[in-house]
Structure 1
Amino acid sequence: MMSKTKRVLALVLTVLMAISMLAACGEPQPSSTSTTPSTSASASPSSSADPGTTSNVPAEKVTIKWMVIGSNVTDDSDVMAAIEEYLADKINIKLEMIWGTWAAADSERLLTSLNAGDPIDIYFTCSWTPNEYSAMARRGAFVRLDDPNNNLLEKYAPGLFESLHPDLARAAVTDGAAGKGIYAIPTYKEVGQQYTWDLNMTLLKKYGFTVDDITNYYEFGPILEKVKQGEGKDFYPLNAEPFVMERMANSNDLVDAESLLAFYFDPVDPSKSEAVIKARYLTPEFEKYCKKTREYFLAGYINPAAANGQTMGPARTAAQDAAAYAIGTEVYYPGYEYQTGPKRGIEVVYKPAQAGIISTTSARGSMNGISTASKNPDRALQFLYLLNTDPKLFTMLGYGLEGVHYAKFSDDEVIRNPEAQAVYNPWLAGLGKLTQLPRIKGQAPWSVFEDFNKACKGTPILGFAFDTTPVKDQYAALVNVRKEFADALTAGAVDPDTELPKFIEKLKANGMEEVLAEANRQLEEWKAAQ
């Protein structure tokens, strides 16, 4: 396997050398520009706390275990060995990664492991997994990093938060078991989020449609009908991720990890929205969505696999990879079209369904918390600090080893080896500060991230997090009710005229209105404290 990998890299490097020789004989090459932001004085560690200072390196090596999701890694031995060697004279740790995929079971495993008090030092956490950040902080699962009695951030990560987007730092503050403070390190990626329609323009143009024809969800019928007629009965033109599609159709965002509550925002200017929380499934907007989606489902526009949480993801990905769709859903990632178009062999356009927003959900979209079960929280934080300030370390963890997993194309661009990437492909946005990395050739420049973040607008409830503890019994029961009905309804697989009333009746019987009242009570309290 490895000998074949090296032959592939050798070929890649030979091609790159030839390209550079030809370029040297032609026009002068522009000087390369580093994509790594300069470190401000406030973000520079003092010598007494610098984890990279040899004189401060602990004599005893410890193992730091980190559990993440979203990755495709089956062989990390070479990378971990190189990282251990690199860190030997910095913080002297051995890193052990526990790589999870996007499977629901891997997401649940984070919570199961935390609850069990497993000897794991760092956990991925966020606003949308079962081990939701604020809930875990309240439960005492994560170490408070800015505890006034033992401020680990000041000791081991000085200036780190000053180098982040201000809304990331703001959203990291939450009410936890050790008081209001910071319980996880956000990863610096896109701060906002934008719901977009994933358009297969190659196919849409074939049937005479332009980007301007794609307006809003409730008017897709004629477009989907024409594509379906042309492509055949086994073709599903609407590549649905139903829960996302509902938010796109109705301009709302998550308030809680289980999607029971929603914040509806102005699609043009989210900052001007009314600061109120609604029970998603009790709204007339949800009923309207269900009826239209049922119409699309019966017409054969939506793959029946979308109605099952276990089959939806694989079916959606397969349709994307095969370019077997006309319109899909996507929570936009800046520059995504640079990657997906070439990969699918089509022209891909991401058309915004609404303006981009910065919400608590998006700003807490990717974080890493240190477990209170960790025996070495100081060393764990030293590692996270280095990961977010040392481009070489992050490049090794994110891309692998130069000459094995990737080759340099220029000072700030790399070409990844497809064979090596097949066994080592971490989810970069779940790890650390993305702008430290050299770009993959053909990827959007990191300035696209900055422009995207500047264009997104904060919602009036940015920073608010609902604490379900006062209504925990009702909330737990409601989650089970949602699981019984919501998948099928949001995919259009069942008749909303009969199933939605049953769903609403069960929600009300199990305390939905009490949970909603508690959420808005907390919101009013939060607003008064701002």
Structure 2
Amino acid sequence: MKKMGRAFLGAGLAVSMALVSACSSGAGTGNQQAQTPSSSLAAGEPVELVLGYPVLGEVPADIGSVEAEINKITLRKINAKVKLSRTSVSQWAQQRNLILAGNEHMDLFVTSFEDYERHASKNQLLELDELLTKEGKDIAVVLGDKLKAAKIKGHIYAIPTHNFIEAGTGILLRKDLLDRHGIDVSKIKGTNDLDAVFETMKQKENLLGVAAPNGQMPMTYAIDWLNYDPLVDSLGVLPLNSKDMKVVNLYEMPEYVEALKKTRSWYQAGYLPKDAVNAKTAPPDLMKNGEVFSIFQSNSVFLQDSLSSITGRQLVKVDLQKPVITTKEELGLMWAIPRNNVKNSQKAMELLNLLYTDKEIINLINYGIEGKHYKKVSGEVISRINDSGYSMNQPFMFGNRMLTYVLEGEDPALRQEYTKFTASFQKSPAAGFLPSTEAVSTEVVAVKNVLDQYRKALETGSVDPVKVHPDFVKKLKAAGIDTIIAEKQKQLDAWLAQK
């Protein structure tokens, strides 16, 4: 999703940007206007706060009862009622953009490192510095120095989640089928070793080798030789083996071309679904339903345990792309207050503060009501109740993940092991670099239109890259990708000179 995962988030998790001077120029008036309480609020009437975010699977049928329980807490603590999002991930981007372009009520919404700068450049986000020092003071304690990475021109417009960092990618394989066919997973060292395994599953199980992504995480994340710092938006990337810090066009990299050929071979062999380009169902749901042999995700501590718990199948993880800390990992998913849509920004920040400090609310959002949607196994360990009407598999999205329960099947020592997991991470030399696309905004729009037209079909193997890729690159250049890369290189050089 981003990472839905992350990916979500990625996720999509899963999955657009720009950096800004307009943010600070208009912040004063918008901030004062948004923070002016109405007479009804002054009289003590509860505020309704709308929380906007994508639901990665189906919208839970019993979301209303969870909302009611959350409101018992928020009415008592901040005199507010909360309305949770009912927006599926497939509709989220369009609905979010429509809301932000108008004045429909929304008080908090989840964005990401990719979209942060774009929203800020359009003056759609409220400056949060003053709110953080008053209504959100506990957030700064939780996040510490991580808040510094969120500054644009000296101001904070969105707040990163306190999360387990997801870096690199892993592919999760069904253990029962590996065992049934005598496949030694230790011999699967990378992407090319998956071909023979996928063929076995196709021939002997009549099963798709791997799920096609349904969000923003591209299929190329399953390719272990493709390692680069996306420099936020992948419109100009930094290869991790770069000696001269030169920004290059990802879509012209030889490694990218080889990645397209690999996914094409999987598609032609029948390891991917024929409608991969139109995939709608989340990969964990496909695994749960027994429709695929493997899924790939952003790598994280105990990834196989958490996905085994979610899918109800024992999974084995094979690492693919290397874990690298980039600006993406430093910022990740973020929560913002939309300038033109919020009705009371103080109350919005008070709710956000609870998302980083209130364990009961965090676990209600993620797991529902104890005894109805999940049961306590021991201590902090819980198990879901099947068909309970509420299953929200996205704890990475809400405030402070460190407050969430541990699902049965996950190691209770999750947080301690996380420190070990991140110890070997490579850090990109450009980590923390947040480029501005303000000067090339026209080219960014044009290039993204080309990407929307070509990228998913190419990256799921749905079209022949030998025939289509040259035209793809030609249209990227005509749209101005080289201009974007030159601007990003200029900014990266200036950023490096200041370090």
Give the TM-score, by structure 2 length: 0.82
CA contact (8 A) 1:192 1:453 kept: no
Q: Partner of 1:88: helix, strand, or coil?
A: helix
Larger radius of gyration: 1
Q: How does 1:451-530 map to 2 (within 5 A)?
A: 451-530=420-499
User: Is it true that 1:127 corresponds to 2:113 in the alignment?
Assistant: yes
Report which stretch shifted further, 107-116 or 436-445.
436-445
Cα distance, 1:337–1:216 mapped onto 2, change above 3 Å: closer
1:318 deviates by 5.2
User: Is it true that 1:303 corresponds to 2:278 in the alignment?
Assistant: no
Identity, in percent, stands at 25
Partner of 1:210: 184
User: Is it true that 1:443 corresponds to 2:410 in the alignment?
Assistant: yes
Cα distance, 1:379–1:285 mapped onto 2, change above 3 Å: same
1:345 deviates by 5.5
Q: Partner of 2:128: helix, strand, or coil?
A: coil
Partner of 1:160: 139
CA contact (8 A) 2:228 2:239 kept: yes
1:195 deviates by 0.6
Identify the match of residue 401 of structure 1 among 357, 369, 374: 369
Q: Partner of 1:479: helix, strand, or coil?
A: helix
Aligned amino acid, residue 126 of structure 1: S
* CA distance in structure 2 between the partners assigned to 1:160 and 1:526 by the alignment: 28
User: Is it true that 1:172 corresponds to 2:158 in the alignment?
Assistant: no
Cα distance, 1:220–1:418 mapped onto 2, change above 3 Å: closer
Q: How does 1:23-34 map to 2 (within 5 A)?
A: none
Cα distance, 1:407–1:528 mapped onto 2, change above 3 Å: same
Cα shift readout 1:5-46 (whole Å, capped 9, x = no counterpart): xxxxxxxxxxxxxxxxxxxxxxxxxxxxxxxxxxxxxxxxxx
Give the TM-score, by structure 1 length: 0.77
Cα distance, 1:220–1:98 mapped onto 2, change above 3 Å: closer
Q: Partner of 2:463: helix, strand, or coil?
A: coil
Partner of 2:171: 197
CA contact (8 A) 1:323 1:344 kept: no
1:385 deviates by 0.8
Partner of 1:138: 121
Cα distance, 1:75–1:504 mapped onto 2, change above 3 Å: same
Partner of 1:95: 82
Cα distance, 1:352–1:522 mapped onto 2, change above 3 Å: same
User: Is it true that 1:364 corresponds to 2:331 in the alignment?
Assistant: yes
Cα distance, 1:108–1:361 mapped onto 2, change above 3 Å: farther
1:67 deviates by 0.7
Partner of 2:202: 228
In structure 1, stretches of 5+ residues that fail to align are 1-56, 267-271
Aligned amino acid, residue 301 of structure 1: Y
Partner of 2:258: 288
Cα distance, 1:264–1:450 mapped onto 2, change above 3 Å: same
CA contact (8 A) 1:264 1:273 kept: no
CA contact (8 A) 1:75 1:424 kept: no
1:124 deviates by 0.8
Partner of 2:62: 75
Cα shift readout 1:371-417 (whole Å, capped 9, x = no counterpart): 11223111111111122112123233333333333333333223333
1:280 deviates by 1.4
CA contact (8 A) 1:201 1:211 kept: no
Cα distance, 1:460–1:372 mapped onto 2, change above 3 Å: same
* CA distance in structure 2 between the partners assigned to 1:143 and 1:406 by the alignment: 37
* CA distance in structure 1 between the partners assigned to 2:429 and 2:243 by the alignment: 7
Partner of 2:315: 348
CA contact (8 A) 2:287 2:294 kept: no
Aligned amino acid, residue 66 of structure 1: L
Q: Partner of 1:142: helix, strand, or coil?
A: coil
* CA distance in structure 2 between the partners assigned to 1:397 and 1:228 by the alignment: 39
1:122 deviates by 0.7
* CA distance in structure 2 between the partners assigned to 1:398 and 1:318 by the alignment: 17
* CA distance in structure 2 between the partners assigned to 1:186 and 1:58 by the alignment: 33
Q: Partner of 1:164: helix, strand, or coil?
A: helix
Identify the match of residue 62 of structure 1 among 41, 44, 47: 47
1:227 deviates by 3.7
* CA distance in structure 1 between the partners assigned to 2:249 and 2:147 by the alignment: 28
Residues paired across the two proteins, number: 449
